[in-house]
Amino acid sequence: MTDPLPGFEQPAAPPRVDSVFSGRVVRVQPDITGVQRQFDYVVPAAWEDDGRAAKIAVGSLVRVDFHGRRTAGWITDVDVTPDPSLELRALAKWSSVGPPQELIALGDWAAWRWAGRLPHFLRAASPQRMVEEVAPRVEPPIADANPAMDAVFSPGVTHVRTTPNDSGLAVAIEAAVRGSALILVPTLHQRTEFSRALRNQGFDVAGYPEQWARSASGVLTVGTRLGAWAPVPEPASIVVIDEHDRAYKEERTPAWNARDVAIERARRGGVPCVLTSPSPSLEGLETADRRLSPERSVERESWPVVDVVDLRTADRPGLLTDAIVSLVRDSTTVACILNRKGRSRMLACGNCDALATCDACGVAVHQPDDTTLECVSCGTTRPVVCSACGATKFKLIRPGIGRVAEDLRALAKRDVIEVTAETDAADMSGEGLFIGTEALLRRLPNADAVVFLDFDQELAVPRSRAAEDAFSMLALAARRVGPRSQGGRVVIQTRKPDDIVVQAALHGDPKRVAESQRDVRRVFGQPPYGAWAVVSGAGSATFIERLRAVDESASLRLAQLGDRWRIAAESHTELLEIINAVDRPAERLRIDVDPIDL
DNA sequence: CGGACAAGCTGA
DNA sequence: CAGCTTGTCCGG
């Protein structure tokens, strides 16, 4: 250390007298994305006297002096033996109770499994606001478990195929009866529904992440994707409702999947994990130790009447066949689904309705990001400002839907409600004739009939999961309209009436989809019979180059897809052992393990 | 991540 | 070679 220059005052250095420290040393993971290392700090002696030291535990949120600044972090280990050559600093502040030990270990695993960083997962497992202390664990009142459900809650992973009109609530209630459980659902709306239903059954319910502290004291917890990281201590079981749902997959990096986190968490805790779905994912079926399905006749009866309209022999051109028109006239609430994937989308000014066009060539423009409009034809860009009135808000118009809605209005002689992202939920609660994309199915509470105007749109998607996704959409439609005994009706317009997905819905038999997909994917080594990752971004070329160097025996298969790369391996272990060993380039890089859109 | 410091670039 | 940018390293 250099002496201060004469005449200059030395800045106040932190006291380094031994008696100031308690001698206890803890390990801290800083909450900084770029820092994967952990660092040791000592507990200040003063904390022993005022009770703060007693709060030091694995998972605690603290603040520490780190390389000239102060940062938040998590205690990942206590009573560490530090490297004697280091001069340790003291913890600066105890902030909050944090995730329990087992979630920190699970975070380590998730960081490996999705090639991500630990702080990302620790944030998911931490309270949104500081928590002073957690109430002692509450033991839920023990009710009588239903012996008929013993098979569902036996050790390991159980896949329960539900009927389309069974939300999975019965499984969730039974889980609650058997001890403090963790229930995951795909959407916030389902979280509200399940919480309400469980409360009506007399259970105390914590919603994650808002009620972190209650969850931490062992209250039955219901959450969406993030709920996989709820701090319920040693849950008696973990239930994943509608396990096939894409909402369980995080879209941002690291692109983790809550279903898979739940499965691993249950495995580590040695508790049952129950997956439910009316349209199972192959991943869910494959990881399950046992698969339960309803009796064939029960499942069949729970499906609505499915009408298949062959568009090749339709009575009139276009999508509004006679079958549709008469159905729409006779039924009260109908949802018409028309996905216009891959078609050009146009923008119109939210203020004056002028179509946004290119200043150079007059062609319609699209909006690639928040700040630019780009010409599809010549690539000219301009700011998001209307040329006619100067407004800065634009709305998306899907020419397909607008046109069809207009025609439908004329043919059906009734009002048609076009549902977009901006449509108010209140406008969708009553009766009516609705038209919109797949999102309409998620938002409409129920309907007398659902019509897929052009189902080939779904079947023709070039993705390995296309069939499963298309079928899950039909299962969702079936849930909205109810079973055939209640007059539920789903109409599928297609040029491929013999497609396995259409046939499976027609016969109310999801097994057909899974079986056909299983064979295809096995042959080609596609997930879940192999592991995939997609690498994209500016740094991907460098990354792939380095990966080739690490993968000496060339056990990974690489395929370039435009500016992205697909990495395929026999297993996740093989895939991640290599991916995690590659030095990440400085440029932006996105690694998507288990991509859902490939 | 962000500060420290080294190496590289530019213009007088 | 000062003054600036860019790159690399590293933290308790």
For A467-521, the pLDDT digits (tens) are: 999 999 999 999 999 999 999 999 999 989 999 999 999 999 999 999 999 998 9
The model's pTM is 0.87
The tens digit of pLDDT for each residue in A232-253 reads: 999 999 999 999 999 999 999 9
Clarify whether residues A285 and A309 are in a common domain: no
* Number of separate domains in chain A: 4
Q: How far is the CA of A578 from the C1' of B12 (A)?
A: 53
List all residues 6 or more positions away from A367 whose beta carbon is below 8 Å from its beta carbon: A347, A373, A374, A384, A394
Question: Taking a C-beta distance cutoff of 8 angstroms, is the pair A376, A346 a contact?
Answer: no
Q: Is residue A356 part of a domain?
A: no
Clarify whether residues A182 and A261 are in a common domain: yes
Split at pLDDT 50, 70, 90, the class of A344 is very low
Report the side by side order of strands in the sheet with A220-223: A205-208, A220-223, A181-184, A237-240, A273-277, A157-161, A290-292
CATH at residue A237 = 3.40.50.300
A37 CB neighbours strand B below 7 A: no
Q: Is residue A353 part of a domain?
A: no
Span A315-324, average pLDDT: 82
For all residues of chain A together, what is the average pLDDT? Answer: 89
Clarify whether residues A338 and A261 are in a common domain: no
The tens digit of pLDDT for each residue in A579-597 reads: 999 988 888 889 999 999 8
Which domain does A564 fall in, by range? Answer: 531-593
pLDDT score for A8: 36
Residue of least CA–C1' distance to C10: A67
The tens digit of pLDDT for each residue in A543-554 reads: 998 899 889 899
Question: Taking a C-beta distance cutoff of 8 angstroms, is the pair A364, A344 a contact?
Answer: yes
Clarify whether residues A340 and A415 are in a common domain: yes
Clarify whether residues A170 and A265 are in a common domain: yes
CB < 7 A to strand B: residues 206-265, chain A? none
The tens digit of pLDDT for each residue in A132-164 reads: 999 998 877 677 899 999 999 999 999 999 999
CA dist A317 and A561 (Å) reads 36
Long-range contacts of A76-80 (CB under 8 A, 24+ apart): A76/A27, A76/A28, A76/A29, A76/A38, A76/A104, A77/A26, A77/A27, A77/A38, A78/A24, A78/A26, A78/A27, A79/A24, A79/A25, A79/A26, A80/A25, A80/A26, A80/A27, A80/A40
The residue among A36 and A282 whose pLDDT is bigger is: A282
Q: How far is the CA of A586 from the C1' of B8 (A)?
A: 19
A39 CB neighbours strand C below 7 A: yes
CB < 7 A to strand B: residues 492-521, chain A? none
CB < 7 A to strand C: residues 568-597, chain A? 586
pLDDT at A14 over 50: no
Clarify whether residues A196 and A226 are in a common domain: yes
Clarify whether residues A31 and A156 are in a common domain: no
Clarify whether residues A581 and A485 are in a common domain: no
CATH at residue A535 = 3.30.70.860
Nearest partner of A115 among A564, A561, A567, A563, judged by Cα: A567
CA dist A192 and A26 (Å) reads 40
Clarify whether residues A417 and A309 are in a common domain: yes
pLDDT at A434 over 60: yes
pLDDT score for A311: 87
Can you say whether the dihedral through the CA atoms of A196, A201, A205, A207 is positive or negative? negative
Exposed / middle / buried, residue A38 (Cβ in 10 Å: 0-12, 13-18, 19+): middle
